[in-house]
Amino acid sequence: MKTKINSTTAASATNPMKCPICNKTMIEIVYGVPNSELWKKAKQKKAFIGGCCVFEHSPRFHCYNCRKSFSEDLKTSIDENDDWLLLCD
Ligand SMILES: [Zn+2]
């Protein structure tokens, strides 16, 4: 019987950000023009498309449970959802 050593992937090595409200794992917001892979991920709620423009105060993390986006230090949050994704089908 072979023992499989699970190599740690980059994704699991990074500490997932937890939502300060519901404590669920948040997703990093991706900025820029989304490619087809990002669209797919966004529809599976594995990514959040922040849009083409990134500003100094643009949020970094998104909680799909609360539908809120948080700044990097989690001190500020804005209501944001990806309902518009459904319109793009
Ligand atoms: Zn939450």
Strands (E), the chain: 27-31, 48-51, 61-63, 68-70, 77-79
Q: Residue 47 — very low, low, confident or very high, per pLDDT cuts 50/70/90?
A: very high
Please list the residues that pair with 28 across neighbouring strands: 61
Whole-number Å distance, alpha carbon 41 to ligand 1 midpoint, is: 19
CA distances from 51 to 32, 35, 38 (A): 6, 12, 12
pTM of the prediction? 0.75
Q: Is the pLDDT of residue 10 over 50?
A: no
Q: What is the DSSP letter of 46?
A: S
- Whether 41 and 34 have beta carbons less than 8 Å apart is answered as no
Mean pLDDT of 31-42: 92
- Cα gap 71→2, rounded to integer Å: 45
Kindly report which listed range (24-33, 47-56, 67-76) carries the lowest average pLDDT score: 47-56
* Stronger pLDDT, 87 or 10, i.e. the higher one: 87
Q: Is the pLDDT of residue 53 over 50?
A: yes
Residues with CB under 5 A from ligand 1 (ion): 19, 21-22, 63, 65-66
Average pLDDT, the chain: 84
